[in-house]
A and B are shown apart, each in its own frame.
Chain A
Amino acid sequence: MSAREFGELWALSQLSPGIHLVALAGLIGQRVAGWRGAVASVAGMMIPAAAITVGLTAAYGLVAAAPLAKAALAGLAPVTGGMTIATAALLVRATARRGVRHAIVDLAVAAASAAAALLFGVPTIAAIAAGALVGTLALGRERSPSRETPMG
């Protein structure tokens, strides 16, 4: 596979719903070996990782009720909350790579969504639908597609 081909598949994967790495694995597998390749590459990525995740979760479950684990959780909550906020910043950074005007527009849309959820109790799904509508109508024309779409 050439670098250009990989770049194109990567750009397509960034348009997928859910986990982009799954889409990328499926696209590469399909390109290399048809639908069987897609199944094999996605299964090869997801099944071992999911098994390890379940194993870690079950192991944590054995000690979760202990006082020490409860204390650790008091430190894990702010850390995972902070990681979630940082993910938001990374999403905005990924879409706003094209200069100041883009950054301002992107920050405004993200801030409106945060305010809708925090201050006005707008349902999550309604905020996503509003973002989809605003994006389709107004945010696609400022730039060429692909390549600059968010990672994750």
Chain B
Amino acid sequence: MDPLLLLLVFLKASALSIGGLSSLPLLRADLVTPGIATDEQVVQAIAIGRISTGPNGLYIVSLGYLIGGIAGAAMALVAATVPPLVVVPAAALARKWLLTTRVAGLVRGVALATAGLLVATGLGIVNATGTPAWWQIALAAIAIVLTYRGTIHPAFVIAIGAIAGLLLGR
């Protein structure tokens, strides 16, 4: 894929989402649905993003690398970095406006719509390789509980998935 086009796709997902993983539904719609990326690559990118340092939203750098090599990763890094920074000049120029109830409502509405989309996306990923087996459904449930509670590091949750896959996935 043309790196500039990839940059636009990543920029759109980053600019229209609120929070790190929230770009995922848009990216899956723009990349997996047309066949530019696969759900396997999305799974790898999320897993690596959780293991690596830095914000969770950096999974798109891993996805960019899987799609377009170093150039793809660079495009994803630019797309992850620039949109959040609009808040810096906005805070300097229009701080009062940013703290109005309308902006709060906008952010809340987008966050909630994204939450619904993330449920749909998560189910799509669980079902990506056909109907999940009993142990895969159990793994998904365990991952939901552990991630929601947030008491153990996500890398351990990823490790649980990889080990279960090694034992049961063949």
Residues of A near any B CB (own CB < 8 A): 9, 11-23, 26-27, 30, 38, 42, 45-50, 52-54, 56-58, 60-61, 64, 67-68, 70-92, 94-95, 106, 109-118, 123-125, 127-128, 130-141, 143-146, 149-152
Contacts and interface: CB of A to CB of B under 8 A. Distances in A.
Interface residues of B, number: 112
B48 A84 contact: no
B110 to A, nearest CB: 5
Given A12-B98, A84-B21, A144-B101, 5 more contacts: A91-B115, A113-B113, A118-B120, A131-B114, A149-B108
B51 interface: yes
Contact of B80 (A22, A110, A131): A22
B36 to A, nearest CB: 15
Given A26-B84, A79-B157, A113-B117, A49 B16 contact: no
B112 A131 contact: yes
Interface string B1-28: 0000000000000111111111111101
A12 B91 contact: yes
A9 B52 CA distance: 26
B53 to A, nearest CB: 5
Contacts of A26: 84-85, 87-88
Interface of A is mostly: helix
Interface in B124-170: 124-129, 132, 136-137, 139-148, 150, 154, 157-158, 160-166, 168-170
Contact of A27 (B19, B87, B140): B87
B115 A92 contact: yes
A97 to B, nearest CB: 11
A50 B60 CA distance: 10
A88 B126 contact: no
Interface of B is mostly: helix
A123 to B, nearest CB: 7
Nearest to A22: B84
Contacts of A151: 19
B136 A75 contact: yes
A141 B108 CA distance: 11
A125 to B, nearest CB: 7
25 contacts: A16-B18, A16-B83, A17-B17, A17-B83, A18-B18, A45-B54, A50-B77, A53-B48, A53-B49, A53-B62, A74-B165, A75-B161, A78-B126, A83-B144, A84-B21, A84-B119, A88-B116, A89-B144, A91-B19, A110-B113, A124-B28, A128-B16, A139-B109, A140-B108, A152-B19
Given A16-B84, A20-B84, A79-B47, A114 B117 contact: yes
B106 A136 contact: yes
